[in-house]
Amino acid sequence: MTQAQTDENIRPAPGALNGLKVLDLATFIAGPYCATFLAEFGADVVKVELPGSGDPVRKFGTPTECGDTLVWMSEGRNKRSIELDLRSPEGADTLKKLAAEADVLCENFQVGTLEKWGLGADVLQEINPGLIIARITAYGQTGPYRNRPGFGRIANAFSGISYLCGEPDAPPASPGTATLSDYMSGVYAALGVLVALQSREKTGSGQIVDVGLYESVFRILDELAPAYAYKDFVRERMGAGTVNAVPHSHYPSKDRLWVAIACTNDKIFNRLANLMDRNDVTGDGIYGTIAMREAKRAEVDAFVTNWTTGLTRDEILKACEGAEVPCGPVYSIEEIFNDPQYKARENLVEINDPRLGSITLPNVCPRLTETPGQISWAGRALGADTQDVLKDWLGE
């Protein structure tokens, strides 16, 4: 079990980013997740929050007896919290002093907000030319929509992924979670920060990392853009199916559970058909090529379903594993907590929090062999570290 540090000893644990100083001015998920990623690998991340209320994510999600939600306890991990009103002259002045000592600053206010407070990128980088500023907004810092507000759901819709989610004859659906674009944008922003740090090693200069919420999801939609540009192809909703591969979907089992099967080429389909004792449909048979199977997608899916419904989920998984057919269970979170693979990889970490006691969080990703990240503590109480941070960073 990973143990949280005590209130008297909240300091970043040694890691690959040890010594890196990060100011997290952002709220909710996208910008803060960028800072969280850096904190997991040893950066000293100071969460700057509005006095009295703090980051709104403290009230977003499942409430706990400590007053903060489980979302905050997870995503506020490894950060020290200070209260600072950036709208006041005193707060702005303190931030400038902190920025002079920082390596990275993360923010996701609407475009122009920091500038309105006299804390724009030009001001901060004049104080500290090596400062890297990660800015995440709904639509980025430029373009005709730059002033529009937005959250993850809006970004998912604008990116094109929501249009693809759901059944063909049903309305567009959420891609599992409305916060997909928030987390994806946080990852891309963190990647941008690491690239900017590498550049600073050569030039000594900081720069701005500019991410629009929609851009991170749009970037991962495989051939969606080139397929439209090349052949005017507009991909439509396909439910659990996908383009360019059949069978490649979710299939029910005899015990009313679900499995995912992915036959991405003819060779893998041949293995599945052999497992089903139906080699007659492969090669020169009616389902022998991807093109032939795509032309009869519904028929092929029904063909596979007829097989899977005759077996339990465990029987399907065992058979497919033996035949080297990619297959996996469609899990609920309850099943994830009981799965030996998750346990072996320590994907779930139990933290001993001074306010809540035992709390389980998703572990750090990615996994590094020599300088692994870690969770040292869960989200802190609002302003719990103000005096320590001012002393550590400014000597006050």
pLDDT for res 5? 42
> How big is the chain, counted in residues?
396
Q: CB of 293 within 8 A of CB of 246?
A: yes
Q: CB-side exposure of 28: number of CA atoms within 13 Å?
A: 19
| DSSP classification of residue 56 | G
> ω into residue 366 within 30 of 0, thus cis?
yes
CA distance 31 to 26: 5
Cα–chain center distance at 277: 41
Task: Inform me whether the pLDDT recorded for 122 exceeds 70.
Answer: yes
Tens-place pLDDT, residues 339-390: 999 999 999 999 999 999 999 999 999 999 999 999 999 999 999 999 999 9
Give me the mean pLDDT over the 206-226 stretch. Answer: 98
CA distances from 342 to 1, 141, 280, 321, 336 (A): 15, 39, 39, 18, 7
Give me the domains of the chain, ranges plus CATH numbers.
2-220+350-394 (3.40.50.10540), 258-329 (3.30.1540.10)
Q: How confident is the model at residue 11 (pLDDT cuts 50, 70, 90)?
A: confident
Q: How confident is the model at residue 396 (pLDDT cuts 50, 70, 90)?
A: confident
Q: CB of 228 within 8 A of CB of 242?
A: no
Tens-place pLDDT, residues 249-259: 999 999 999 99
Structure tokens at 198: 């590498």
The catalytic position among 24, 44, 182, 353 is 182
Q: How confident is the model at residue 9 (pLDDT cuts 50, 70, 90)?
A: low
Task: Inform me whether the pLDDT recorded for 21 exceeds 70.
Answer: yes
Q: How confident is the model at residue 14 (pLDDT cuts 50, 70, 90)?
A: confident
Nearest by Cα to 105 from 179, 28, 212, 207: 207
Q: CB of 57 within 8 A of CB of 31?
A: no
Q: How confident is the model at residue 2 (pLDDT cuts 50, 70, 90)?
A: very low
CA distance 369 to 367: 7
Q: What percent of the chain has pLDDT over 90?
A: 96
CA distance 313 to 161: 29
pLDDT for res 6? 40
Tens-place pLDDT, residues 158-180: 999 999 999 999 999 999 999 99
Nearest by Cα to 385 from 4, 47, 34: 47
Give me the mean pLDDT over the 86-91 stretch. Answer: 97
For this structure, is 182 an active site residue?
Answer: yes
Give me the mean pLDDT over the 258-286 stretch. Answer: 97
Give me the mean pLDDT over the 125-133 stretch. Answer: 98
Give me the mean pLDDT over the 39-65 stretch. Answer: 97
Q: How confident is the model at residue 225 (pLDDT cuts 50, 70, 90)?
A: very high
Q: What average pLDDT does the structure give for the chain?
A: 96
pLDDT for res 10? 81
Q: How confident is the model at residue 12 (pLDDT cuts 50, 70, 90)?
A: confident
CA torsion sign, 94 to 95 to 97 to 101? positive
Tens-place pLDDT, residues 288-343: 999 999 999 999 999 999 999 999 999 999 999 999 999 999 999 999 999 999 99
